[in-house]
Structure 1
Amino acid sequence: GFADTGECVKYKKCTNKGGICKESCGDDETEIPKACGGEGCKCCAPTKCKISGKCRKREGYCVSDPNDCIGILGKGCRRNGCQCCVCPTSQTQVLLYSRLSWGQMRGNVTFSWTGPNNNVMVKVNIEAAGYELEAEPEEVDWAIYDLPVRYDTNKRCDIIDLGTKKENLSGMFGKLTMPTDGSIVFHTTDLSLIGKDSIWGHSLRLSGKMVACSNIEGVSGERTYEARFFSPVGGSIWIRTWNWNLWLTGGVAETTGVQSTILTDLYNTADDNPVSSDHNWALHITDDQESHKGCNFLGVVYLNLTHDHGRLRIGSKRSPLSKNFYSDVTLTMPDISGNKQLYIVVKHQLDEDSTYACSKVREINPKTARAVFSSDGVSGSIFIKQTSLFSPSDLTLDLNGLRSNAGGFHVHVLPAGPKIKPWDNPCLATAGHYKPYNIDSSTSPPPGQGSHDEYELGDLSGKHGSLQSFDEIQTTLTDYNLPLFGPRSVTGRSIVIHQEMGDRWVCANLHSDLPMIRSAVTFRYPVVGEIIFEQPENDPLSETMVYIPSLVYSDGSHDDTGEHRWHVHEDIPGNDIYNGNMRCVSAGKHYNPYIVSLNQKVYGDCNSENSARCEVGDLVTRMGKLNVAGTISNGATTARFFTDTNLPLTGPHSIQGHSIVIHDDFAPIHQGDRLACSRIFRKFRHTGMVNKWTATPDSSLNNEVQGKIEFIQESMFDVTKVNVDIQGLQSIAKGWHVHMVPVEHDLEFPCAASTVYGHYNPLNVSSANSPPPDIGTDDLYEIGDLAGKYGTFENKELVRDFYNDTNLPLFGQTSIIGRSIVIHKEENNA
């Protein structure tokens, strides 16, 4: 195989593995060292499914690397190192996949297919995670189960929660051996990726010493719908659809279709002695006006679900027996974005002409949460997106200015408040890491090495690796334990970036991108404090965030107390809130608009996971008891943050217009057990606007500047949005700032420093140390230095722009509301 002339003899055979001499090897070839003579001459042997001879009656091809083979046909290739491979054709594509990081395992399994009458290729790429990376080999069972995994809980992989086994992959392919050495490929005709027996929407479970599970997802085209019930039936019916495309020869989608699944989880909430029952059920389609007439006026039947799937089981209580799962290849969801509405109607068990319960079907849109950083030179955002509770979350980091100073980063329990005093560090008031599953961090593997269940839910650097040594980072990661759906949602909490040595450095709050509605309760006697409720606007079924900054006794004569029950009550309290005895009786009874049964035999099932089984007003059972501090200095110890799934702020069952009662079970009997109460009221955002401009006499800007500068802040924990639309600057303006006091328009020199005073600077920032305009983060400038934070008006005739400001409060004692804005001329900064 060597050339005598010192030049490459092209295409001369050089190995017994099908290699030839060439100047360069292709992507599907491997270079065999020292097998060809001549300068620049390489021996290139085929690697992946490159034909190098037919084998086994021309069913396969001889290859040196079988990694991508659908299957191995055994002996049939004479050359040393070759195996007889059944190759995937060029049309093979991944249709389904399952990804996981749980139970000390992480990786993915893909399911590929070439079309009808062809094998399914299953490719397993799972690795061991955690401390035991060098563990002894272990056999792992794997199987596909009926019910999907929910990503809003850590109890997700028990067989009791996943239903019956649908496909035994261990029996089909053999058990997996962990840890694996690279990917493993199988092929079969016994799995269906589409059709009535499709594995889409089901769950994959791996079990050995530890257990992992995840859902089998479709490549694009998935949508999720929910019909939620409260009374006399509680729970949900989930409809999921997948529009699949099988791309064949020529890049044309010659075969398409829709897979649908229906997951029912319904149970009785109204009866004192409930029993399981079976009912006829159907999808009805109607217009918006008809839907307001009630369950008996819901238009035509769109799909008879009883005919397709049998009668609907409603359990006596929520349990594995209350769940059922159906696959459907005929159900296509109509467009329900306009006036048409879709309802699920459940008929009475004994009277099929009468409706027992109904619920509107709504499409579940992805939830998002974003934390915007602009502090101490660190800028950017951390963005979380979750498609549904049946999918993991995407975590996107886009951070600059880290300066190799960062270390860990975590979701913390409480949101960060605004900076009030120059020495404040709001990150210190966010409590600890968010860990609803009480993971002991001392037992967690080193950062980035374990599966996601081995870390605190909020330990982002544990799950994904530290920020140490990064100056900036832009990446998107998958997080299997970071929910935006359900009672453990991280929305509304804070993310803290720590310094390399562990100190809290910078922080920002996670806010939804949706418009929000807020309600609040303000207590004034004998407890002082506030409870704030926040929920996406016009979505009463979405999660409600509940934040309690502090609760303190008003007179200072009490010790700290705990174990206080609290509820939403029906009525607005009267003057008896000040009574020494039988206080707050006027608030009435607990708010129970769905009239759920209060019989203790069944009400014991009420909890945060089963909120439809609770009174809407039963906050203590779903969220826990409250503390009240005896002094202001201890007020921070009473701070709490909750997420609730049955606390509407809009709609017919809204808690607005009702009241909150805090109870004291240790009070003297003659006083009663009601400690404090107050009504629930709508809490609005704050806005400020400047649109009437006054100029100094004889100023060249006089009567020329027009337009507005508008400021909007949703709450004291939100970023302030600034909308600038100014004309008439004549290219002579430069700085623009919030000044300390309002303009007195009647004065001869209304904009003079003696009138509006200096820049508004309550945090005593030294402007001499501020970066040049539009360079630094918001906190490095005076609160009122708008030109510093956003850029000057230099050489501009007009300005139309939007800004986000993390250091421009419209709430609280450092608010800019009521102050003035001054636009300075470039000449002499006048």
Structure 2
Amino acid sequence: MELLRKQLLYFYFSLGFIHVTSIELRSYISGQGLHGTISFIHLEEKDSIKILTNLSTTLQYPDQVWSWFVTEYPVDYVEIENRCNENHLGKKIITMDNIFGYLILPDNKTAEYETKDLQISGKNGLYGRSLLFRNVQTNQEICSSITVVDKTSEKIAIARFNSPVSGKVYFRWLSTKNNHRQVLITTDLYRVADVEKLGKAATFTEHHWKIYVTDILEHKERSEQNCNILQLVFDPQNAGNDGAVGAIDVRLGKVKISTDNAKTRSKMFFVDEQLILLPSDLIGPQRRLYLVLFENKYPDSFLACAKIQYNQPINAKVIIQSGGIRGDIKLTQHTPFEPTFLNFNITTARGDFETKLVYSSSVAGYKIHELPITPSKLLEEKENHCLTTKFVFNPLKADIGAIPNGMEPKGTQDQYALGDLSGKLLGRNNMTFLVNGQELSGKYWDTYLPLQGRYSVIHRALVIYKKAMFPSAELDIEPWICGSIVLYNQNFKYQKPIFTAQVQFRYPIVGQILFRQPLDEPWTDTSIFFDYIVHADGSSLNNSASHRWAIHYSPPGKDFYSWQNRCLSAGDVYNPYKVIMVVLGNDGAVGAIDVRLGKVKISTDNAKTRSKMFFVDEQLILLPSDLIGPQRRLYLVLFENKYPDSFLACAKIQYNQPINAKVIIQSGGIRGDIKLTQHTPFEPTFLNFNITTARGDFETKLVYSSSVAGYKIHELPITPSKLLEEKENHCLTTKFVFNPLKADIGAIPNGLGTQDQYALGDLSGKLLGRNNMTFLVNGQELSGKYWDTYLPLQGRYSVIHRALVIYKKAMFPSAELDIEPWICGSIVLYNQNFKYQKPIFTAQVQFRYPIVGQILFRQPLDEPWTDTSIFFDYIVHADGSSLNNSASHRWAIHYSPPGKDFYSWQNRCLSAGDVYNPYKVDVESSNPSESCYLETVGLCRLGDLSARHETLDISGRKADSNKISRKFFVDPLLPLSGPHKLITKGSRKRRKQTV
């Protein structure tokens, strides 16, 4: 026991506290025409509090009189409606009018007060409370938390309960050298199971509660459904059970738990003068602390327990790398009780005065839209991918445009759409700009921009607008550049790893739904993105709405094809915490998503009216054990809208693992590798260049650094037969630089533009000079780590299996050719630690007559849901019918292998049957090729390859087949294994547009 006591006796320094000599609290206010801050500073020499106001009014409300109070609880900025209700803020504990009088604007814009009637800490201290303002004339209310300015003096931990009690308990530590040391504990707990045992009369129950510590070292997360493993009350000073630090009920009394949170909340606020120490168990691989609640009738029996975890600030970043503009916007929300802080750092790629002036003059607004950027649209040639993100995020239905933007602020943050950053922030700092326009730069704060909860902006798109090229009365600005709001670690250096799962509906609806949650953080928000969801069986010609949806146990059987007994193989609703099913509107079983987020709508096959939806769920947990390996058992069910208890469709929830690839270079005296990783289609690809010379000495490294002239990914793979040819450089068989978006190659020198301005395969152009590496020669060498927003490892434009070519300076340079291919390697899939190549399932098609050709299909083994690459090595007319090239041949996979009728001129390949269509996509109500889009590949018949890609050219006997018919495609729909595998199917070319 003595050893345990010594191991647990950690002081503040183990949590990283930095003691400061004085403390400053600040409240950030923006609502009802009042904007600014009120600061509370402790004057040590006088033992008094100085109050500084820095407030302003808007043109709409120039004269204001406010009555102001301090309330029990901090503002929950996750809530964007009714956040100032007494139900949220508690009772008024201090009436500031009695001390300072009314807050009168504009007289008190920059006022200064001093008093000894207020305290920073203690039972009635300001720390952790809120300011409530009531307009004397209109009775309207606004509120703001009182927060610590120096975040190093504060640490926060949280205990999250799930069942049979749900809710959160926050622990907030404040420490200064002035002995302002205290712990605030805020509880908000309610029953979600076994409520019927409590009786209808009770609105709350009272319970003993203590902090327990595990008696063994824990390195992994442990299930909290069984609390009986806990034996020791937290007692680092060996004071005995009643005197233990963890015996908080002895010092503070019992905690209340509401029996019906919809009617009565049992929020409580405690100040603990003894719980001033916590061990590093919160953040290190040590013993863990748990908050335990006891049964109210049997105080020796555990009711529920939850691990006390260190609450990390939420950091997010938007990377802008497009249209000659680059930079980032950082967002931080330290706790749910504080506003979000933003830092804009955007400039031009060239960085010169002229381009900065153009940017400052052109920018017309910064807005967060409802949806993420659709990954497939990020690489579309004709359409601005920012247009796929719907409209400005406006959950409160603010009147957009009613309050204009301007350098002289016209409104407060509650008057604009939540996503209208320009409206809320323009003119709110002291930055100066080249043009008095709409540009934002520097630091801001926003009280209506949550980074957590239902209205979180994480994963949505931030869009920069520009002045319209052809302005009209209806449209004077238009989307220009956009980037995704992505979670980052605490120093903004790396993205947070994201656990991603996807659902692919095939019949009778088609659609793709993505679930995303920070890896190994199941207590955090889960985002749900309906990329598309469309009726596909011809049963509905109109859009439909009000469809229930839920997560169920057990993988679906083949009964999803059945009309009368569809998805009856479904198990129960996913309910890991055994929550009662008839419960509050914001609770219920974890899998009952529609209860919390609402019902969904389904579109017809018209792509323009297709439904895209985005939700954030605070309760949905993505556990790898439920989705990975032989035990994976969860699937998503959609219900009929007219018969809400009848299943419409069901599909398995599939883990979407990060994609790792590597290029091994081992030629020409050069060796090394290039690693590539893309966590999800929504995120950039990360690259790590590690290439040197085989000898490794200074001289050869200098030669390599001087000779290298570029790194480029080409259209095609390396032809295996050419790999061992003596006379020909096999890198020349890979065609040209991969450039599906038709970028103007050579228009912008390497490193001087943004990544969208170069060919997708031009790594040198996109990456040169983008990290802090130093080189022997100031040339074209790449080394170290980079990221690329235009280098997909999945989808139609994936670079997997293509060739990466290192160029060198030409031996005999000319005006047309100053560099030439030197060394190349294939981009190959690897496992998660880059140790082994992924096993690849390879299939081959050999044409003998009337054309000769070879097609290779490749897909990761036993992963039929992943991309399949299709490589036309060659294809040539062989029957003498054409000595010249022919074009526009459709191609498809059919149900049956061909018979001998492939020799027949009139009835060739009729034995192949229909186009392979195992998911029964309706082909009667619309032209299947016209309804088959890059985004909605589920509307394609599985075998209709020309509809998803393009028609083919076939070389004549005298033509060069290497230049004409060699093609490479990536198909997201073709399974080489699994129940719908293609191995026994037939492939047939269609002559031009004939059937």
TM-score range normalised by the length of the shorter chain: 0.7 to 0.9
The farther-off stretch of 153-162 and 471-480 is: 471-480
Query: 688, 702, 716: which is aligned to 1:723?
Result: 688
Q: Among residues 96, 106, 109, which one is paired with 2:35 in the alignment?
A: 106
Letter in 2 for 1:801: G
Contact in 1 for aligned 2:78/2:452 (Cα 8 Å): yes
Q: How does 1:649-668 map to 2 (within 5 A)?
A: 649-650=622-623, 657-666=633-642
2:389 matched to 1:460? Answer: no
1:277 to 205, 214, 218: 205
Structure 1 position 125, deviation (Å) = 2.6
Amino acid at match of 1:409: Y
| Aligned residue identity for 2:786 | Y
Partner of 1:531: 513
Where 1:486 maps in the other structure, the secondary structure is coil
- Per-residue deviation at 1:178? 2.1
1:193 aligns with 2:88: no
Alignment of 1:119-268 (within 5 A): 119-129=48-58, 131-133=60-62, 135=63, 138-154=64-80, 155-208=82-135, 209=138, 210-220=140-150, 221-245=153-177, 255-268=178-191
Counterpart of 2:384 in structure 1 is 425
Say yes or no: does 1:606 pair with 2:553.
no
Which letter does structure 2 place at the counterpart of 1:499?
Answer: K
Matched, 1:308 2:287: no
Instruction: Map Cα deviations across residues 333-386 of structure 1 (whole Å, 9 max, x no partner).
Output: 322222221111111112121101111111110111111111111111111111
The Cα of 1:688 is off from its aligned counterpart by 2.1
SS in 2 for 1:369: strand
Q: Which moved further from structure 2: 426-435 or 286-295?
A: 286-295
Alpha-carbon distance in 2 for matches of 1:238, 1:373: 36
Change (3 A) 1:182 1:270: closer
CA contact (8 A) 1:296 1:354 kept: no
Percent identity, aligned pairs only, is 30
Match of 1:563 in 2: 546
Which residue of 350, 370, 377 maps to 1:413? 370
Q: Does 1:329 align with 2:273?
A: yes
Q: Secondary structure at the match of 1:442?
A: coil
Q: CA deviation at 1:92?
A: 10
CA deviation after TM superposition for structure 1 residue 678, in Å: 0.9
Name 2:589's counterpart in structure 1: 615
DSSP 3-state at the match of 1:741 = coil
Q: 1:349 aligns with which of 289, 292, 296?
A: 296
Picking from 475, 481, 484, the partner of 1:506 is: 481
Partner of 1:160, secondary structure, is helix
Alpha-carbon spacing, 1:522–1:725, altered in 2? closer, same or farther (3 Å)? same
SS of the aligned residue for 2:170 comes to strand
Distance in 2 (alpha carbons) for counterparts of 1:151 and 1:773: 44
Q: Counterpart in 2 of 1:362?
A: 309
1:96 aligns with 2:25: yes
Q: Quick check: 1:712 aligned with 2:689?
A: no
**Shift of the alpha carbon at 1:506?**
0.6
Offset of residue 124 of structure 1: 2.5
Aligned pairs for 1:687-766 within 5 A: 687-694=660-667, 702=668, 704-728=669-693, 729=704, 731-744=706-719, 745-748=723-726, 751=729, 754-766=732-744
1:13-58 superposed Cα distances (whole Å, 9 cap, x missing partner) = xxxxxxxxxxxxxxxxxxxxxxxxxxxxxxxxxxxxxxxxxxxxxx
Do the aligned partners of 1:540 and 1:648 also contact (CA within 8 Å) in 2?
yes
Equivalent of residue 382 in structure 1, options 305, 311, 329: 329
Deviation at 1:752, TM superposition (A): 5.0
Per-residue CA deviations over 1:276-313 (Å, capped at 9, x if unaligned) read 21110111122565766831222321221211111111
Aligned-partner Cα distance in 2 for 1:747–1:622: 63
Q: 1:764 to 1:101 in 2, by over 3 A?
A: same
Amino acid at match of 1:723: N
Shift of 1:404: 2.1
Code of the residue aligned with 1:524 in structure 2: it is: R
CA-CA distance at 1:150 after TM superposition: 0.6
- Asked whether the equivalents of residues 550 and 594 of structure 2 are also in contact (C-alpha less than 8 Å), the reply is yes
Deviations 1:398-418 (A, max 9, x none): 111225211111000111124
Aligned equivalents of 1:525, 1:277: Cα separation in 2: 49
The Cα shift of 1:218 comes to 2.3
State how 1:810-825 maps to structure 2 within 5 Å.
810-825=793-808
The 3-state SS of whatever aligns with 2:175 is strand
Q: 1:797 Cα shift?
A: 10
Q: How far is the alpha carbon of 1:773 from its aligned partner? A: 0.6
Aligned 8 A contact 1:92 1:114 in 2: no
More deviation, 188-197/236-245: 188-197
Structure 1 contact 733–795 (Cα < 8 Å) conserved: no
Q: Which residue of 2 aligns with 1:552?
A: 534
Partner SS, residue 679 of structure 1 = strand
- State which of 785, 797, 819 in structure 2 corresponds to 1:802: 785
Q: Are residues 1:541 and 2:523 paired?
A: yes
CA contact (8 A) 2:627 2:654 kept: no
Separation (CA, whole Å) in 2 of partners of 1:292 and 1:206? 44
Q: In 2, Cα distance between the equivalents of 1:316 and 1:156?
A: 22
Question: Residue 67 of structure 1 aligns with which residue?
Answer: none
Which runs of structure 2 are paired with 1:15-30 in the superposition (5 Å)? Answer: none
Distance 1:108 1:379 in 2: 32
Residues in 2 aligned to 1:684 and 1:537: alpha-carbon distance in whole angstroms:
11
Judge conservation of contact 2:627–2:653 (CA < 8 Å) in 1: no
Residues 100 and 214 in structure 1, CA contact (< 8 A), matched pair in contact too:
yes
Q: Distance in 2 between matches of 1:632 and 1:687?
A: 35
1:791-810 Cα shifts (integer Å, max 9, x gaps):
39976697422222111111
TM-superposed deviation, 1:680: 1.0
SS of equivalent to 1:429 = helix
Q: Is the 8 A contact 1:491 1:512 kept in 2?
A: yes
One-letter code of the match for 1:406? V
Aligned-partner SS, 2:65: strand
Which secondary structure does the structure 2 equivalent of 1:691 belong to? strand
CA distance in 2, matches of 1:813, 1:786: 19
For 1:129 and 1:570, locate their aligned partners in 2 and report how far apart those are by CA, in whole Å: 54
Alignment counterpart, residue 603 of structure 2, candidates 622, 629, 635: 629
TM-score normalised by structure 1 residue count: 0.81
Output the amino acid matched with 1:340: R
**Partner Cα separation in structure 2 for residue 281 and residue 518 of structure 1:** 36
1:386 partner amino acid = Q
Deviation of 1:207 after TM superposition, in Å, equals 1.0
* Cα distance in 2, alignment partners of residues 474 and 821 from structure 1: 39
Q: Aligned pair in 2 of structure 1 residues 814, 292: CA closer, same or farther (>3 Å)?
A: closer
Tell me the TM-score normalized by structure 2: 0.68
Report the counterpart of residue 347 of structure 2 in structure 1: 400
SS of residue paired to 1:549: strand
CA distance in 2, matches of 1:265, 1:826: 68
Give CA deviations for 1:82-131 in whole Å, capped at 9, x if unaligned.
xxxxxxxxx99653222221232111222222237633222233222352
Question: CA contact under 8 A between 1:231 and 1:269: conserved in structure 2?
Answer: yes
Give the whole-Å Cα distance in 2 for the aligned partners of 1:235 and 1:331. 21
Letter in 2 for 1:171: N
Q: Is the 8 A contact 2:708 2:781 kept in 1?
A: no
CA contact 2:167–2:189 (8 Å) conserved in 1? yes
Which residue of structure 2 lines up, in the alignment, with residue 62 of structure 1?
A: none
